[in-house]
Amino acid sequence: MRVVVKLGVVMADRNVKSKDLAAHVGITEANLSLLKQGKVKGVRFETLEKICAYLDCEPGDILKIER
């Protein structure tokens, strides 16, 4: 059982550019790229909240459990 990040899929669905989302959330594009690839140890609630506000989605749309 592992957590899978679907941020790239949600961004593609909404046609959002990484540069715009990173600027809105307040993180670097490099960190956003790492998040999209799931190469991070965790996500702050604050970051998740801003991402969801910009993409108009739920946290469950971005993070999924893969069994």
Query: Can you give the binding site for other proteins, defined by CB under 8 A?
Result: 2-6, 8, 27, 31-32, 34-38, 40-44, 47, 66
User: Least distance to other proteins from the beta carbon of 8, Å?
Assistant: 7
From residue 27, alpha-carbon distances to 52, 59, 67 in Å are: 14, 18, 30
User: Least distance to other proteins from the beta carbon of 36, Å?
Assistant: 7
From residue 56, alpha-carbon distances to 24, 29, 44, 49 in Å are: 13, 20, 18, 10
Longest C-alpha distance within the chain, in Å? 33
Nearer to other proteins, 3 or 53 (CB): 3
User: Least distance to other proteins from the beta carbon of 56, Å?
Assistant: 20
